[in-house]
């Protein structure tokens, strides 16, 4: 078969769905700044593009030869058989054609050996005559079935359709032989030996003269005859009815004579067949009947009846369910145990139905599970629109979709849904383990999709290895797009992703709020400084500012009016902040933030916040500096920050007693009261009453955590006439010696006060520091054990190993998770490529994308080479001479054709043929024969 030079790959329906999934995930990554999502999206895009090239390359190297078809009887199916050969590994191949009797037929190749396969195309033969194919084409698919390349096929020779014999036909009439005696009128029969003749197709093996064959080496058949009067004479005149009825009876008589071995002659109007016997003679008679005029007009093919889809192949279906289970694994750590048990229970039940006769889950049961799961998950997460609840309900819906799947189309759709589910895990984590899981899950899901491309029995190769190889080929292209694809600075739309119960600072402060956080060892954020790390006394990380007080809790308020003043008093600290997911908009900036990244704002309370809550790990660039804040402040804000509700009269009286002092002395008086009052720092303070809570703490329990001291001190200062507010955030941080950055954990959560002093503005005052100085100089753990310690104890071996792992995590966050538009612009500037969209950028993008295809093309070329050394040498020769080898062409025929095309190489090609035959067939040392073959190949110049 000669393949057309111009071939075009076209996406299949599944390929369009795959493309749609890729576009959808890309939009989600752009909107939510999912860096790992970009990586997965570009990896899938690379697979989509690479498979188009692979399908096109396979189509250019495919060949097909038709095998002669055998005659069939009307009402049966004729089988057109073709041998498909490819230059490389066998790819999914489908033959589609239209029969000359109006039937559309399709068949897939069944693998026979490496690079070859057989296609058996069954075609219904509905009427006698001739049956052939038209509009035949070969559809070459990629291993995942994303692309299809149509190759026009030559038409095979038509087959003869014999008339169907009449059922229960009467025996043929006995007609006497005309004229002459027995000795003069003889015909072919099985009574007397008449001589030898060359063997013909259809001769019985019993008639072969084996002794003559052994002596002469030529197949000869014994020919016998019989008196003509003993042969059957099947005649048109002995039948009645319409032509088709007559032909059916004659066909029945021919079949009876063939079965009995009796010689017969056939007479039709205008045509006769001399008497004879045997399979060949019967076939000639039936062929004569098939072509008798007039031929029937072929009726329109019947409309196909709607039938139930065939059951899914159990082995493939179990593998698909396994792939779905792998894609859902991270949900085990992020949803309630009962939700995981329900999801995996449905998958296990569906898989068990492939081995046992269990009933399917009814629509009522499926609807009940959806309703029950949705209600319980909404109660657990508080919403089904957030990252936690949304992913959990999607996982449950995915398992229920698998339970009601019945068709191959839906089974393949589940692979796409599994890939989408894999991408949703990036909303809650983008660490290295999540990236590794995404790769493993993608391999399983692509392997599951590849197993549904061809029907059962036609599958070849190892799907997991094939899927892993595809991802490997797509990796260079994915890396180029990950680095150079434009990264927008803001979302496309605003849709907060609430993560449910996330650990972090709250919108209000009440007793026990920070002591609960202090028991969590989870990382809140990491800070990489450009230069020296601030000393412990300056590591106050500013978060929400609480200014409204009702006697029980402190809350945030929005104050309108003139903006407060800010004057920097020291050098700036420049750092990158990597926030863990917390569901809040606050940027925990080092006090005081003076420069915030794009998409963030600085409030009138000097609180940095972003428009998009941190639903995923996010990296920001910030600048802070010591400053005088609010020297010029709005009078309404100052008035609000001295208000006290009518509670805790003893604390109010104590504060009011200091009003005769200067503002600075009032602050010192409050701190001295705490320092000398027998107070202690603890994570387990007693429960305080709702009424007069501050009095109960200051003059009763005297045991508390940072929020107790900050709240009580703020009440004392307001009673003393000083505007005071509480700032929530974090204090301290652990320096990682392996990376030189700060790790701030939830246990470092802290609350302190800000007191407004004339000509100084808002001054930070930390009352906890006078109770437990180690809280500032060391950490929470040291402050609880040794409140007066000046530094934390050196980390032990386990802690050092933990810090090393965290350093790797931070590096990952810096290079992968935190790669955003700002980092991309900085990289392009350092490389001299200008901005996104500039001419150097576009040129570099084009060159790098083109270069990313080279590994795949090199691999495909290597795959095209046969594994057998001798055949590989012949393949290399065809590439060197740019003279393809025709399908089924022997080595000798090919080399002779090559010698005719290149007469100057004829002697070298003769030597190569001799070396090839010795390497393939001669006994002896195969290694030496292969070396001789390679030497002969080297002498053939291009």
Q: Give the catalytic positions in this structure.
A: 706, 750, 766
Q: Is the dihedral of CA 842, 847, 853, 855 positive or negative?
A: negative
Q: Which two tokens stand for residue 58?
A: 């396979």
| Distance, CA of 373 to CA of 379 (rounded, Å) | 10
Cα 810 from Cα 742, distance rounded (Å): 10
Say how far apart CA 21 and CA 26 lie, in whole Å: 9
Element holding 702 (H helix, E strand): none
CB-CB neighbours of 677 under 10 Å:
11
Dist. CA 38–CA 635, nearest whole Å: 49
Cα–Cα distance measured from residue 395 to residue 389, given in angstroms and rounded to the nearest whole number:
10
Task: Decide: residue 521, CB within 10 A, 0-12 exposed, 13-18 middle, 19+ buried.
Answer: exposed
What is the distance between the terminal CA atoms of the chain, rounded to a whole angstrom? 26
Q: How far apart are CA 652 and CA 646, in angstroms?
A: 9
Angle 779-782-784 (CA atoms, 0-180°, nearest 5)?
105
* Eight-state DSSP code of residue 5: S
Q: List the one residue out of 734, 742, 731 whose CA is nearest residue 766.
A: 731
Asked if residue 381 lies in contact with residue 369, where contact means CB atoms within 8 angstroms, the answer is no
The secondary structure of 434-462, three-state, reads: HHHHHHHHHHHHHHHHHCCCCCCCCCCCC
- Whether the CB-CB separation of 100 and 158 falls below 8 Å is answered with yes
Residue 790 bridge partners (DSSP): none
CA angle 448–449–455, rounded 5-degree value: 95
Three-state SS sequence of 815-831: HHHCCCHHHHHHHHHHC
Structure tokens at 102: 């109006």
Q: Could you write out the DSSP letters of every residue in 270-282?
A: TEEEEEE-SHHHH
Residue of 598, 599, 534 lying closest to 571 (CA atoms): 534
Tokens of 190: 């099985």
**DSSP structural state of residue 586:** B
The span from the CA of 860 to the CA of 420, in Å, is: 29
Taking CB atoms within 8 Å and a gap of at least 24, the contacts of 203-208 are 203/278, 203/279, 203/280, 204/278, 204/279, 207/278
Strand partners, 99: 133
Half-sphere exposure of 734 (CA within 13 A, CB side): 26
Packed helices 408-424 and 35-60: angle between N→C axes, nearest 10 degrees: 140
- Alpha-carbon span 895 to 173, nearest angstrom: 62
Residue 942: both structure tokens together = 């291009």
Where does residue 238 rank: exposed (0-12), middle (13-18), buried (19+ CB within 10 A)?
middle
CA distance 238 to 174: 10
- Within 156-296, residue ranges assigned H as helices are 210-216, 243-260, 279-290
Q: Among candidates 342, 322, 323, which has minimal Cα distance to 332?
A: 342
């Amino acid at each position: 078969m000669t393949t057309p030079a111009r071939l075009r790959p076209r996406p299949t329906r599944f390929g369009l769905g795959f493309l749609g999934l890729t576009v959808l995930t890309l939009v989600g990554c752009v909107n939510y700044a999912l860096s790992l999502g970009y990586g997965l999206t570009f990896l899938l895009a690379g697979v989509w593009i690479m498979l188009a090239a692979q399908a096109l390359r396979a189509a250019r190297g495919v060949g097909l030869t038709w095998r002669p078809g055998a005659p069939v009887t009307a009402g049966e199916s004729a089988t057109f058989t073709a041998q498909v050969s490819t230059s490389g590994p066998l790819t999914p191949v489908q033959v589609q054609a239209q029969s000359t009797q109006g039937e559309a037929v399709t068949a897939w190749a069944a693998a026979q050996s490496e690079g070859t396969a057989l296609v058996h195309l069954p075609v219904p033969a509905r009427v006698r005559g001739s049956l052939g194919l038209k509009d035949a084409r070969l559809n070459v698919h990629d291993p995942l079935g994303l692309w299809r390349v149509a190759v026009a096929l030559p038409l095979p020779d038509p087959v003869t359709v014999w008339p169907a014999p009449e059922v229960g036909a009467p025996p043929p009439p006995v007609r006497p032989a005309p004229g002459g005696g027995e000795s003069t009128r003889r015909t072919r029969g099985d009574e007397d030996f008449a001589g030898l003749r060359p063997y013909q197709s259809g001769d019985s093996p019993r008639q072969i003269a084996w002794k003559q064959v052994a002596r002469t080496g030529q197949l000869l058949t014994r020919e016998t005859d019989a008196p003509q009067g003993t042969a059957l004479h099947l005649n048109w005149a002995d039948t009645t009815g319409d032509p088709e009825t007559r032909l059916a009876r004659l066909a029945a008589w021919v079949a009876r004579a063939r079965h009995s071995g009796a010689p017969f002659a056939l007479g039709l109007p205008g045509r006769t067949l001399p008497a004879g016997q045997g399979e060949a003679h019967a076939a000639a008679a039936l062929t004569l009947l098939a072509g008798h005029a007039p031929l029937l007009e072929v009726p329109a093919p019947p409309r196909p009846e709607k039938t139930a889809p065939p059951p899914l192949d159990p082995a493939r279906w179990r593998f698909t369910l396994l792939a779905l289970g792998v894609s859902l694994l991270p949900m085990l750590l992020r949803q309630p145990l009962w939700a995981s048990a329900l999801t995996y229970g449905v998958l296990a039940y569906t898989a068990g139905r492939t081995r046992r006769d269990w009933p399917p889950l009814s629509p009522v049961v499926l609807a009940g599970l959806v309703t029950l799961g949705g209600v319980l998950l909404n109660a657990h997460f508080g919403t089904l629109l957030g990252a936690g609840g949304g992913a959990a309900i999607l996982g449950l819906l995915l398992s229920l979709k698998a339970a009601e799947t019945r068709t191959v189309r839906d089974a393949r759709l589940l692979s796409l849904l599994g890939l989408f589910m894999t991408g949703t895990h990036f909303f809650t984590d983008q660490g290295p383990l999540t990236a590794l899981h995404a790769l493993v899950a993608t391999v399983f899901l692509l392997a599951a999709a590849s197993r549904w491309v061809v029907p059962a029995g036609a599958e070849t190769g190892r799907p997991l290895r094939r899927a892993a190889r595809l991802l490997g080929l797509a990796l260079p292209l994915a890396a180029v797009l990950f680095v150079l694809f434009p990264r927008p600075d803001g979302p496309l739309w605003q849709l907060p992703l609430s993560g449910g119960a996330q650990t972090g600072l709250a919108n209000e402060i009440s007793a026990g709020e920070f002591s609960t956080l202090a028991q969590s060892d989870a990382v809140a954020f990491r800070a990489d400084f450009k230069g020296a790390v601030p000393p412990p006394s300056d590591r106050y990380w500013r978060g929400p500012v609480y200014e409204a007080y009702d006697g029980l809790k402190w809350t945030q308020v929005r104050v309108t009016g003139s903006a407060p003043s800010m004057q920097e008093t020291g050098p700036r600290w420049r750092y990158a902040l990597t926030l863990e997911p917390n569901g809040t908009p606050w940027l925990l900036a080092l006090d005081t933030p003076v420069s915030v990244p794009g998409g963030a704002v600085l409030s009138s309370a000097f609180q940095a916040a972003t428009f998009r809550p941190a639903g995923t790990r996010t990296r920001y660039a910030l600048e802070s500096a010591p400053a005088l804040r609010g020297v010029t402040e709005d009078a309404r804000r100052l008035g609000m920050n001295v208000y006290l509700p009518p509670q805790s009269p003893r604390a109010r009286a104590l504060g009011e007693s200091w009003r005769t002092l200067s503002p600075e002395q009032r602050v010192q008086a409050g701190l001295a009261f705490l320092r000398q009052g027998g107070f202690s720092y603890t994570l387990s303070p007693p429960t305080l009453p709702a009424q007069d809570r501050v009095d109960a703490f200051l003059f009763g329990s005297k045991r508390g955590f940072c929020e107790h001291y900050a709240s009580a001190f703020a009440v004392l200062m307001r009673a003393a006439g000083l505007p005071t507010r509480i700032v929530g955030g974090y204090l301290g941080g652990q320096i990682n010696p392996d990376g030189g950055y700060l790790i701030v954990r939830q246990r470092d959560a802290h609350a302190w006060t800000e007191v407004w002093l004339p000509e100084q503005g808002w001054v930070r005052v930390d009352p906890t520091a006078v109770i437990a100085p180690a809280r500032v100089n060391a950490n929470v753990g040291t402050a609880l054990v040794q409140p007066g310690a000046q530094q934390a104890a050196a980390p032990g071996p386990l802690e050092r190993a933990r810090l090393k792992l965290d350093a790797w995590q931070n590096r990952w966050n810096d290079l992968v998770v935190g790669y955003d538009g700002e980092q991309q612009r900085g990289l392009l500037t350092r490389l001299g490529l200008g901005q996104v969209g500039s001419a150097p950028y576009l040129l570099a993008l084009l060159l790098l994308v083109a270069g990313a295809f080279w590994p795949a093309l090199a691999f495909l070329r290597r795959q095209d080479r046969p594994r057998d050394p001798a055949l590989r040498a012949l393949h290399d020769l065809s590439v060197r001479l740019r003279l393809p080898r025709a399908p089924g062409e022997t080595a000798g025929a090919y080399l002779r054709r090559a010698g005719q095309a290149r007469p100057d190489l004829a002697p070298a090609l003769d030597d190569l043929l001799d070396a090839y035959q010795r390497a393939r067939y001669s006994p002896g040392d195969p290694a030496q024969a292969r070396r001789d073959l390679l030497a002969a190949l080297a002498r053939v110049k291009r």
